[in-house]
Structure 1
């Protein structure tokens, strides 16, 4: 006859905590990987097959620098032409 007092013992509690941490770690890792893959899916690919975030953000940054006076008009148009020529 087995005597069991209903206690898991120390190793039972250690196993329970370890499985809890592993379970939630796997869930969080899966969510992070899903979010990264979704964000990577928003990249556009150019003719060379490399991913780029598009020129929209770069054009906005260039326009902001021009508005702040960091670039003059000739530099702004030259850089804008380079950005638009790449897509």
Structure 2
């Protein structure tokens, strides 16, 4: 390889840029700190629990009444 006439260093520099871009891509798109987490409302939790079969229809309707009633 030609270390002193610039050919090696130019390609070496290009590979550093490629790896840095790949690293930034993975950091931004796969890092948990950049993922937006949505907090479920109590009604959404109730609907999910009913859909998954954790509670009965009667329990769902009673809890929904409590959650949607105004105090």
TM over 0.5: no
Normalised TM-score (structure 2): 0.44
Normalised TM-score (structure 1): 0.39
